[in-house]
Amino acid sequence: MPKTRTIILLLLVPLIILLASGAVSFVGLFDLLLLRPILNFLVLLSGYLFGSFGLAIVVLTIVIRLVTLPLTMRQLHSTRAMQAIQPKIKELQKKYAKDKQRLGEETMKLYKEEGVSPLGCAFPMLVQLPIWIGLYQAVIQGLGIAPENLLGLSKQLYSWAPIQEQVPLNSHFLWLDLGSGDIFMGILVAASMWVLQKMSAPPSADPTQQSMSRMMLWMMPLMFGFFALTFPSGLSLYWLLTNLISIAIQYRVSGWGSLRVPSLSSLREGRILQPASTPQSGDIEAPQLEGAEADSAVSGRKGAVGTGASSPRKKVRSEKHRDKRKVRRRGR
């Protein structure tokens, strides 16, 4: 961790000096470090991919996902660790319900002891934001959507012949005009987001979490679907591919999750629980199950983690089911 901080400081200090001295503006710095590399990479790629800007976005998305894979995995571990210590946090909340300051201190102490960073889950999302903005502007400027963008493109492109020769870029990909919003793309983004949310939602018996889960299961896809309708579909293409790759990673790590069609036996055994909360795309979270119940309920999922005490109510219900089955078998 100290090493990471040193690296971040080493990167940030010169940037702050440059900004403070007025040598570069924030926009200029953004263009230099993010927009221009993304844009030129896309333009160069499209040259090698039959002049297709859409294919270039596909390849760029895969590259970005590969580059951010360590972050995604780190987020996975952070989320898992955070889930694992939830029972301990609940205990602390009960113990120090009347002393907020002490609760805060003890919680931070617990995070330190367990090696958990509360911001570990949010960091990958924040890292993706500049990439979104960079790609968004790259699509807008690259395709010269407004005449001002086309004229401004000359400023952003490197003067290498293989890049310059690609202008103007082909804005058509499959059925899409990459510079305009697309209704079908909106539906695809929303659907893939829903699948991802459903897959990554950990089961829970907590009614508050269930209601939050239901809200987010629909809110996130609808929100992204709306943005995909109105944003240039080049950016929606990036979102769709990101979702599909996230679904693949999610499947690889923890199976179909809450999306799994419940088997008859599992229904009989009462092992299906409601999703608890819906993480953002790319989040890979462990179910919020506890103890033996958790192990049983997530038997089909790989890498699921559950700790702490089990719910007595559910245990009783499960035992009742078992007793009924025994009675039926005897009857036969």
Partner 1 sequence: MFDIKRVRSTKPIVIAILLAILALSGCIGPRGWPGVVAIGDTVFVGSMDGSLFRLEVSARLKDKDGDRLSKADGEWVWEPEAGPGGSIFSCGQVGQFSTGALYGPPAVGNATVRNETVEAVFIGAYTGKVYAITQYGDDVWDEPFETGGSIVGGVAVANDTLFVGSSDGKLYAVDVSTGRAKRGFDPYPTGDKIVSTPVVQDGVVYFGSLDQKFYAIDADTGELKWDKPFKTGGGIGSKPLVVNGVVYFGSFDSKFYAVNAETGTQEWVFGEAGNWFWAQALYHDGIIYACSLDHNVYAIDADGGELASEWHTNPFPTVGKIRSSPAIVGDVLVVASEVDKEKAKVYGIDLENGEEKWQHELKSSILAPLSAAGGKVYVNSRRDNTVYAFDGETGRQDWSIPLGKVE
Applying CB under 8 A, the residues found at the interface with partner 1 are 82-83, 86, 100, 103-104, 107, 111, 118, 121-122, 125, 129, 132-133, 136-137, 140-141, 145-152, 154-155, 159, 164-165, 167-168, 179-181, 208-209, 212, 216, 219-220, 223, 227, 230-232, 277-280
Phi, psi of 274 (to 5 degrees): -80, 150
Q: In the complex, what is the shortest distance from the CB of residue 284 to partner 1, in angstroms, rounded to a whole number?
A: 14
- 182 CB-near residues (< 8 Å, 6+ apart): 175, 176, 228, 229, 233, 236
Of the pair 28, 70, the CB lying nearest partner 1 is at 28
- Three-state secondary-structure class, residue 327: helix
> CB 237 → partner 1: shortest distance, Å?
15
Separation between Cα atoms, residue 81 and residue 77, nearest integer Å: 6
Which residue lies nearer to partner 1 by CB, 104 or 262? Answer: 104
CB atoms within 10 A of CB 327: 9
Least Å from the CB of residue 134 to partner 1: 9
CA 150 to chain centre: 32
State the nearest-atom distance from the C-beta of 307 to partner 1, in Å: 15
Closest CA to 300 of 268, 244, 261: 261
Chain centroid to Cα 305, Å, comes to: 19
CB closer to partner 1 out of 18 and 212: 212
Q: How far is the CB of 8 from partner 1 (least distance, A)?
A: 21
Nearer to partner 1, 48 or 160 (CB): 160
Q: Could you tell me the smallest distance in angstroms from the CB atom of residue 159 to partner 1?
A: 7
Distance CA 276, CA 207 (A): 8
**3-class DSSP assignment, residue 113:** helix
The span from the CA of 312 to the CA of 156, in Å, is: 63
Q: Which is nearer to partner 1, 49 or 212 (CB)?
A: 212
Place of tokens 């629909």: 218
**Within its chain, how far is the Cα of 314 from the centroid?**
31
Report in angstroms how near the CB of residue 262 gets to partner 1 at its nearest. 24
Task: Kindly report whether the peptide bond that precedes residue 162 is cis, defined as omega within 30 degrees of 0.
Answer: no
Closest separation between CB of residue 219 and partner 1, Å? 5
Buried b / exposed e over 122-131, threshold 16 CB at 10 Å, is eebeeebeeb
Burial of 148 (0-12, 13-18, 19+ CB in 10 A): exposed
